Amino acid sequence: MLKAEGGDAAGSLGEQVSRATAILFVLLILLALGWLFGVVHNWGEIASRPVRLAYLICDFTIVIPSGLVSIWGLRNGRRWASLPFVFALGALLFDTAHGVFYLLWDNYFGVPWIVAFVVLIALGIYVVYAIRVVQANLGL
């Protein structure tokens, strides 16, 4: 199961894994909802740009499934789940970075650039936190 450090109960480390996986679950739900909103309201723009269509396909066939599988695995103490978890985090961070830049470039929703970068930085901080939690609990 989960490793305990220096006399700490595995429960506290388990809570960190639960927190990290819960955050990823929420982010995956937001990603799916964002795409569903985009498909309903901007399908023409998505379909007209192959790179956006590729991101849609990859998110629903690779990022979201690998994230969900890794969440299940980590919550059940499976060592193998650490690699798909890190993969899902990296893919999500890459997706978000790309999304921030193309949303800013095309000025979608009129979001100020500073807000977009704060979101990207917050996600980067979460990714570092989540990877460290996995390292401490299951190793990489």
- pTM value? 0.84
Would you tell me how many other CB atoms lie within 10 Å of the CB of residue 29? 11
pLDDT of residue 67: 97
What share of the chain in percent tops pLDDT 70?
86
Residue 23 predicted with pLDDT over 70: yes
Residue 60 predicted with pLDDT over 70: yes
Question: How far is residue 111 CA from its own chain's centroid?
Answer: 21
> Quick one: pLDDT band at residue 109, thresholds 50, 70, 90?
low
| Mean pLDDT in residue range 41-48 | 88
Question: Which residue ranges make up each domain of the chain?
Answer: 10-137
